[in-house]
Chain A
């Protein structure tokens, strides 16, 4: 069990550029979540997958954001036409369901800075 990994750890981009982040969940975890954390705030839910199906999207997830989880393994989060307001830490978490109690395990995050 190597834990949840995210790549890259840091990304600096210019406004208007597209960026893509990757998350590799804990092996065999069937649920995968994306959260966004801005400075001084707790993480906010963006979206989640059960296997390859995207089951819920937050209103925070504008149409510039898209997430995929092909084959139910790793996931990607793409932001198109980035804006300065997209600057944040993007966190991925995974969990295993069904299970006696769902616990989400978080990765180290990808910190995005949009100039």
Chain B
């Protein structure tokens, strides 16, 4: 069965510092990979996605993620964090085409000034 692991439940970074959120997946083939962000009490907003091609993908709000097949990872990065980035971040996978998403448990990002 597919699974997604986000090893860090909470991460705290200073405003302006760089950020990396980890995501590892377990799946028989290369799945589709996603990062979503959720602000308190809100739904999920798509940050970026990887389907194929260039393994470094750019998303909204200055986020990027790198797919590493050898490590089954899809880590999310941002070079300089803003206070408004404080939220919960979810990594998700889906089979090759058109099916349900499997989510990790999420990482809560706190930004200190």
Interface residue ranges, A against B (CB under 8 Å): 4, 6, 31, 33, 35, 40-45, 48, 56, 91, 93, 95, 97, 101-109, 111
Contact = CB atoms under 8 A, between A and B. Distances in A.
Nearest to B90: A42
Interface residues of B, number: 24
Interface of B is mostly: strand
Contacts of B36: 106
A98 B92 CA distance: 21
B100 A56 contact: yes
Given A41-B106, A42-B92, A105 B46 contact: yes
Interface in B73-105: 90, 92, 94, 97-98, 100-105
Given A43-B44, A108-B42, A103 B103 contact: no
Given A42-B90, A42-B92, A42-B106, A103 B101 contact: no
